[in-house]
Structure 1
């Protein structure tokens, strides 16, 4: 029964009882408590308990109705908040959403410590916002750059960084902008931008971007590959030496370096460059000796080896002995077949 019907029928009942009692008894009844007396018609005294019960019942109904309203409002608010919470979670943001229901509060605490990742290629949901966010995530994870700004991923989050990486890989002009502002981006993004620029731009453009750019070993080797193919606009040798000092080349790296520049650098210049490098770092000595042998600088090889113990650089000493005996071999024949 609805509240309005309950009130109406209750009032009718009270009125009916009052009329019935009043019709058979019109007198008064007096109630005395200490010095206080109250005289009311008997009909009023009869309906008084009904009126009290009616009022208490109304208060009871209103109280629990209001309580149920608050619970329903809390559930509705929790439903809205859980959607917003999921959106924040997917976007990589810290959510400030609060929940009234204990179950949802515990669920939110658990999910906040986990990483959500879509398992399908085409995500479907009745909620358009979540559908858009998840499908953008799928595109980004597949290597596609998503320019949609309607939902912004946390700029420091994994998805946002991957999206920037995708843009760097597909847009060489943007990669140039990244290198110009390398301090504003992660090392991974700067590295990808550098590889894209080295692959698709000329040495003239690349040289303009090197100032202030920190290169690691892989980046430097890629730069050397490009530089060794462009002798007309190549890097200054002092610049190459400077970059090499900033990274930790091993023996194999120095040998790769020598092979790259063997065809593009004049023999005297290459020898001088490796002599300078090997004086600062003994790991470059193998490459230096390879260069000397390459250009038949036998006396220089002998002079260099005389500065070391006989048990050192045995391969080079063996090759030197073979040449002294009139036999022609190269280091590639002996041990440096790389």
Structure 2
């Protein structure tokens, strides 16, 4: 019998993942007995084929990339894989989200949920995690809620959210700039 660390054993295991859908979950259930490469491939296959309901069982081993794979599937195919507000909150509570991830999530959620749901969800994120402030502000601009933008910016220092402040000034002057064109998620995440 081959050792689990033997390259031939690992290759056989990787090939079996392609051929046997049930084996994918076997790997996810016994993470300590498989190589990192095997686990990564199993998670990728799982994220491309399963629902959030099933994924919640493996939330502790999920990673950000595969979380976004599932969200993209939900928006691209409009298939119901259980990407609800509560499900997203469950995953975010377990994943190491930073500013860029929140911005990416906000852009996806705009396609999935109503403005009211998005604003409530991201307001709760930004209250518990300062990394989500930019994404909440992004949504306020997306929905052109200038009064709320002004309130938010007035609660923070002049040196914070510089790009959003510039966009807000242009919006007040009735300039037709959209938030996507003015606010690059990588730039706004690095400025504060």
TM range (shorter): 0.7 to 0.9
Q: Whose radius of gyration is greater, 1 or 2?
A: 1
**CA offset digits 1:70-97 (Å, max 9, x no partner):** xxxxxxxxxxxxxxxxxxxxxxxxxxxx
On the 8 A contact 1:180/1:209 being kept in 2, the answer is no
Separation of aligned partners in 2, 1:215 and 1:299:
38
Structure 2 regions of 5+ residues with no counterpart?
187-192
1:171 aligns with 2:54: no
Instruction: Give 2:189's aligned residue.
Output: none
Q: Which residue number corresponds to residue 226 of structure 1?
A: 73
Cα gap change, 1:337 to 1:272, in 2 (>3 Å): closer
What TM-score results when the alignment is normalised by the length of structure 2? 0.82
Report the Cα offset of residue 317 of structure 1.
Answer: 0.9
Partner deviation per Cα, 1:271-324 (whole Å, 9 max, x = no partner) = 111111111111111111111111112211111111110111011111111111
Matches within 5 A, 1:259-278: 259-278=107-126
1:217 counterpart (60, 64, 71):
64
Q: What is the TM-score normalised by the length of structure 1?
A: 0.49
Alignment CA distance shift 1:335-1:291 (3 Å): closer
* Secondary structure, aligned partner of 2:18: helix
| Deviation readout 1:186-244 (Å, 9 max, x if unpaired) | 44323311211222x342xx522421442122222222222334464423323312322
How many pairs are equivalent? 184
**Alpha-carbon distance in 2 for matches of 1:188, 1:269:** 37
The CA deviation string for residues 12-48 of structure 1, in whole angstroms up to 9 with x for no partner, is: xxxxxxxxxxxxxxxxxxxxxxxxxxxxxxxxxxxxx
Alpha-carbon separation, structure 2, partners of 1:324 and 1:279: 26
- In structure 2, distance between residues paired with 1:335 and 1:259: 12
Q: Is the 8 A contact 1:172 1:193 kept in 2?
A: no
Taking a change above 3 Å as real, the CA distance of residues 242 and 210 of structure 1, as seen in their structure-2 partners, is closer
- After superposition, the CA RMSD in angstroms is 2.4
2:8 is equivalent to residue 162 of structure 1: no
Alignment-derived partner of residue 153 in structure 1: 2
Aligned with 1:307 (options 151, 155, 160): 155
**Equivalent in the alignment of 2:53:** 207
Cα distance change of structure 1 residues 323 and 254 upon mapping to structure 2, 3 Å threshold? same
Alignment of 1:322-337 (within 5 A): 322-336=170-184
Runs of at least 4 residues off by over 6 Å: none
Higher relative contact order (CA 8 A, sep 6+): 2
Distance 1:221 1:279, change over 3 A: same
CA contact (8 A) 2:47 2:69 kept: yes
